[in-house]
């Protein structure tokens, strides 16, 4: 791959940078899920563990 990049006169990619970008992109789904779960906790603030809350479809 590095030879192809040199032949095309494109700068060589940094594997460290690619890994950091991959980690960021891969974890955005986890962060989004946590934000949505936090919204539920905020909506039913003060609810006890095991307490049933109303569900509206």
4's tokens: 């192809």
Q: What is the pLDDT of residues 16-48, one digit of tens each?
A: 888 888 888 888 888 899 999 899 888 888 778
User: What pLDDT score does 43 carry?
Assistant: 85
For the whole model, what pTM was predicted?
0.45
The pLDDT value recorded for residue 3 is 74
The Cα 21–Cα 14 span in angstroms is 11
Q: Which helix H or strand E contains 7, and what residues bound it?
A: helix 2-7
pLDDT of 33: 92
């Amino acid at each position: 791959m590095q030879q192809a990049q040199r032949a095309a006169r494109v700068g060589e990619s940094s594997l460290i940078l690619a890994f950091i970008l991959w980690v960021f992109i891969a974890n955005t789904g986890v962060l989004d899920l946590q934000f949505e779960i936090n919204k539920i906790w905020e909506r039913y603030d003060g609810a006890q563990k095991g307490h049933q809350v109303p569900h509206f479809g």
